[in-house]
């Protein structure tokens, strides 16, 4: 959510930003906000004047009563009663107008960074850099579900009976590999100075609307029936929510946290749920990283966060590339975003395994995350990034470490988390 004062003073900048995001249907909202805000401020000014006049008249009534001028005092009392009635109307009107302004401001997209490439959708995202040499082996690489099943490590049929499409059972070495990757990612981030955290896996609606747009909320979140609770789609939601309605001291920044959680997503939209496989699913586990910092340091932390993911994947011998998200592919709260994509030898192309985002002060404004320092109070900046999200990451891991005999080699960095195993073999 952008600053209302900024919108009021720079409506054309806000409109051009909307055009850059190819959301022209939202252009009328800018003028609507300005009009509603003007009415709200006018109501507030009239109400303030009535409150000030009420104090003045109250003193006059007291003086008149002391002088025995009861009739004049009664006339003033009648005026006070009329003013009180008008004040109540104005306060109600002001509250309604402010609520309308707030609801519209929640829909107007955040101002994107000038460096973001302009494009309509993810097909116009821009490759930044490749890390590691992508390899296509001489032998055929099976579909990832087949690789997992060859180790008796995946049971989709039983999961479908229990929960429906988009769920899975991981078994044996594949399940152990899944847990090993999560544990390795946790320690990887701790070694880089992040504080480990296991957050709540459900959050209230005020946190949901504080961390994401309404469109994202509808497409992603599962609501608990009869409760003001939602299952998290990523631990970023509850990790940023940890700071709701707080005032941090400058010396407490940056807050750098890495968190583990299960994640739950509806996965609405064009992609749908795969019939077989674990690429797009309703439930998965994830290691996340978030930063709460001052505005001057957020560009630096943005670079550090996506680099962490690149370094982790390279430590497991998986080639990756970074992709700059274009304007039309950015969610409304995001200022800038870079996706990390892993190489798929089977498809001979890259696919997304993580996303790093700088949200500026958008989440902080919604959640009232403030900082107090020498220059006064201001809103913090928030950033988030995926460390690793198996089982999707396992697709890249298995394909890149699969041998011709059907075994999968375990990189040295991961071997301690696999009981010293150097490879897993088919059952």
Is the pLDDT assigned to residue 72 strictly greater than 80? no
Residue 248 pLDDT > 50: yes
State whether residue 219 is helix, strand or coil: helix
The percent of residues above 70 in pLDDT, for the chain, comes to 97
- Mean per-residue pLDDT for 1-21? 96
Calpha distance 141→371 (Å, rounded): 52
The whole-number pLDDT of residue 52 equals: 80
Specify the pairing of strand 246-249 against strand 369-373: parallel
Our separate counts of H helices and E strands in the chain read: 13, 18
Percent of the chain clearing pLDDT 90 (strictly above)? 81
Residue 239 pLDDT > 80, yes or no?
Answer: yes
pLDDT band at 329 (very low <50, low <70, confident <90, very high): very high
Say yes or no to pLDDT of 236 above 50: yes
pLDDT at 274: 56
Are 208 and 223 in contact, with CB atoms under 8 Å apart?
Answer: no
pLDDT of residue 1: 81
**May I ask the CATH architecture of the domain 4-105?**
Orthogonal Bundle (1.10)
Catalytic machinery residues: 265, 280, 352, 355, 392
> Which of 41 and 279 is assigned the larger pLDDT?
41
The rounded distance, in Å, linking the Cα atoms of 200 and 231 is 9
What residue ranges do the domains of the chain occupy? Answer: 4-105, 122-424
Q: At 187, which helix (H) or strand (E)?
A: helix 172-191
Q: Which is it for strands 283-293 and 381-388: parallel, antiparallel or unpaired?
A: antiparallel
122-424 has CATH 3.30.930.10 classification = yes
> DSSP characters for 229-246?
-EE-SSHHHHHHHTTTTE
For residue 230, pLDDT beyond 70? yes
User: What are the start-end ranges of the H helices in 274-357?
Assistant: 298-315
Give the CA radius of gyration of the chain.
Answer: 28
pLDDT single digits (tens) 101-160: 999 999 999 999 999 999 999 999 999 999 999 998 999 999 999 999 999 999 999 999
| Token output for 273 | 């749920």
Write down the pTM of the prediction.
0.89
How much is the pLDDT for 197?
Answer: 97
Give the pLDDT confidence score for residue 270 in this predicted structure: 45
| Average pLDDT over the chain, rounded to an integer | 93
Structure tokens, 265: 């997503």
Task: Read off the pLDDT of residues 371-410 as tens digits, 9 standing for 90 and up.
Answer: 999 889 999 999 999 999 988 899 999 999 999 999 999 9
- Give the pLDDT confidence of 259-310 residue by residue, as tens digits: 999 999 987 654 555 557 888 899 999 999 999 999 999 999 999 999 999 9
**Residue range 71-78: average pLDDT?**
75
- 177-221 pLDDT, tens digit each: 999 999 999 999 999 999 999 999 999 999 999 998 877 787 889
């Amino acid at each position: 959510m952008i600053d209302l004062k900024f919108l009021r003073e720079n409506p054309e900048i806000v409109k051009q930003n909307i055009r850059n995001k190819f959301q022209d249907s939202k252009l009328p909202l800018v003028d609507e906000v300005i009009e509603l805000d003007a009415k709200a401020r006018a109501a507030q000014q009239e109400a303030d004047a009535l409150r000030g006049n009420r104090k003045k008249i109250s003193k006059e009534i007291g003086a008149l009563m002391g002088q025995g001028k009861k009739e004049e005092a009664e006339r003033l009392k009648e005026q006070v009663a009329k003013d009180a009635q008008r004040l109540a109307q104005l306060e109600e009107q002001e509250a309604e107008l402010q609520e309308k302004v707030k609801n519209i401001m929640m829909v107007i997209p955040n101002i994107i960074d000038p460096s973001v490439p302009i494009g309509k959708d993810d097909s116009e995202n821009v490759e930044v850099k490749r890390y590691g040499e992508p390899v296509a082996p001489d032998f055929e690489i099976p579909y990832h579900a087949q690789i997992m099943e060859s180790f008796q490590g995946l049971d989709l049929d039983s999961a479908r009976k229990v929960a429906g499409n988009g769920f899975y059972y991981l078994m044996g070495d594949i399940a152990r590999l899944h847990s090993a990757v999560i544990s390795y990612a946790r320690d990887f981030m701790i070694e880089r100075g992040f504080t480990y955290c296991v957050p709540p896996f459900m959050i209230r609606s005020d946190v949901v609307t504080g961390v994401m747009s309404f469109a994202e909320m509808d497409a992603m979140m599962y609501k608990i029936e009869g409760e003001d609770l939602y299952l998290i789609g990523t631990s970023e939601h509850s990790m940023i929510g940890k700071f709701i309605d707080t005032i941090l001291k400058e010396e407490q920044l940056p807050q750098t946290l890495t968190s583990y959680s299960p994640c739950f997503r509806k996965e609405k939209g064009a992609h749908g749920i795969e019939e077989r496989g674990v690429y797009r699913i309703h439930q998965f586990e994830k290691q996340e990283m978030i930063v709460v910092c001052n505005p001057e340091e957020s560009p630096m932390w943005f670079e550090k966060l996506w680099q962490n993911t690149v370094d982790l994947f390279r430590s497991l011998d998986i080639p990756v590339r970074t992709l700059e998200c274009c304007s039309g592919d950015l969610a409304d709260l995001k200022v800038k975003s870079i996706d990390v994509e892993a190489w798929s030898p089977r498809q001979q192309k890259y696919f997304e395994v993580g996303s790093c985002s700088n949200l500026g002060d958008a989440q902080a404004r919604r959640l009232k995350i403030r900082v107090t320092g020498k220059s006064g109070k201001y809103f913090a900046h928030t950033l988030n990034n995926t460390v690793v999200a198996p089982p999707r990451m396992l697709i890249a891991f298995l394909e890149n470490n699969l041998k011709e005999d059907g075994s999968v080699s375990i990189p040295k960095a991961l071997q301690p988390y696999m009981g010293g195993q150097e490879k897993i073999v088919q059952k």
